[in-house]
Amino acid sequence: MTEVSLGGASREKLGLLLDELGAPSYRGDQIRVHAWRGTAFGFDQMVNLPTGLREQLPQRIRWSSLSLVEATVADRGMTEKLLLRAADGQEVEAVMIRHDSSTTSRERRTVCVSSQVGCAIGCSFCATGQLGLRRNLEAQEIVDQVLEAARRWGGGGLGAPTNVVYMGMGEPLQNYSAVVASIRLLQEWGVAPRRVVVSTSGLVPEIDRLAAEELPLRLAISLHATSDEVRDRLVPLNRRYRIAELIEAGQRFAIRTGRRVSLEYVLIAGVNDSTEDASRLRRLAAELRGHVNLIPMNRIPSSQLAAPALPWCREFAALVGPRATLRFSRGDRATAACGQLRAAMEADRRRLQRTDLRLAGSP
């Protein structure tokens, strides 16, 4: 059986496969419509395909490179977190987030995808960083996170994903080739690059490389501190690429692509939430001409770090100014933010293993 999944097959590749099977090329569009709209959850359910083709397809292409392990729902069904397992047993998380339309924006269905199993950056406030890096995801494993969301939304009559953000587990630009390949594959599925956001903790050479790809996506820089001294502790990558270098790279990206760059800033009580931090952050945002997303820190078991009190979060946002928006993690309310659902599942497994061992040793 081939190791290529439907999500990893470009239109051209799927067309060549169908040609080998003696099927007309338009069958490829039928297959993709089923997968994207959630009208089938396997090749065998695609009733408008000939029986013979339905039987042949699973032998040549995998339905998905990932299988669902766990799903948690929050926000009255507006947020859903998925724990997904790859063929080698490694697990990653994706978050499905729905936004209602408003006077200033239309309805959005956003999928927050992971790009790695774990992460090597080691940010002190991040649950994923505690896992370490297990491996990079393949392009098809990234796309299949979006297809899983598409099937779940489509099957419920809610519509297909409109936006994709690379803000899940891992540092996307450390898995550069697979991430860019996945963005191009998603473009074929109907997610325009303009509706894609890639978040990075600060790999300056890769930011410049991404700017040259001619993909009009948006870049989000995970800043989290306004001084190199503090950022060295929070984001170890800062020891290689300083804040000034990172802001300059963001400026180059914005000039090259014509797309706004945003700053992500996790608020941590007593660490990066002083009035001086607010003043410096305001200046950095002005230099970048970008928006600042202020995110109170998510809870992490065993960590002493915590978010500031809500009134101070609001005051901090006011001090940063009109470029700042205070946001709360939707993933946090669906059993925590990136890495925490997997961490919780692993903790449960370890507890069960210890229980089994104790029972095995009982007389």
Which pLDDT value is given to residue 191? 97
130 and 25 together in one domain: no
Residues 23 and 106 in one domain: no
Residue 152 lies in a domain: yes
For residue 200, give the 3-state DSSP assignment.
strand
- Local confidence band at 342 (pLDDT 50, 70, 90 cut-offs): very low
CATH of the domain at 102: 3.20.20.70
49 lies in the same domain as 71: no
**Which pLDDT belongs to residue 320?**
97
355 found inside a domain? no
Considering the chain, what is the average pLDDT of its residues? 89
Model pLDDT, residue 360: 47
Minimum mean pLDDT range among 27-41, 157-171, 332-346: 332-346
Cα–Cα dist 183/142, whole Å? 9
90 and 47 housed in the same domain:
no
| pLDDT tens digits along 219-250 | 999 999 999 999 999 999 999 999 999 999 99
Q: Are residues 50 and 152 in the same domain?
A: no
Residue 362 lies in a domain: no
Catalytic site includes residue 93: yes
Q: Which of 93, 141, 148, 264 is catalytic?
A: 93
Q: Which of 123, 126, 313, 338 is catalytic?
A: 338
My answer on whether 34 and 119 are in the same domain is: no
The pLDDT value given to residue 363: 45
CATH number at residue 49: 1.10.150.530
Question: pLDDT class for 330, splitting at 50, 70, 90?
Answer: low
Judgement on whether residues 33 and 101 belong to the same structural domain of the protein: no
User: Does the residue 304 lie in any domain?
Assistant: yes
247 phi, psi to nearest 5 deg? -65, -40
Q: Is residue 353 part of a domain?
A: no
In the prediction, which pLDDT does 283 show? 97
Tokens for 328?
A: 């709360």
248: in domain? yes
Q: Does residue 358 sit within a domain?
A: no
Tell me the pTM: 0.89
Q: How many domains does the chain have?
A: 2
Is residue 119 domain-shared with residue 264, that is, in the same domain? Answer: yes
Say how far residue 214 (Cα) sits from the centre of its chain: 21
The answer on pLDDT for 263 being more than 80 is yes
Is the same domain home to 78 and 48? Answer: no
Query: Does residue 126 have an active-site annotation?
Result: no
Q: Residue 25 sits in which domain range?
A: 6-60
194, 241: one domain? yes
Same domain, 131 and 212: yes
**Gap between the Cα atoms of 119 and 133, Å rounded:** 4
One domain for residues 230 and 246? yes
Q: Where are the alpha helices (DSSP H) in the chain?
A: 11-20, 26-37, 51-60, 139-155, 176-189, 204-211, 228-234, 243-257, 275-288, 310-320, 340-360
Which range (138-152, 197-211, 302-316) has the least confidence?
A: 302-316
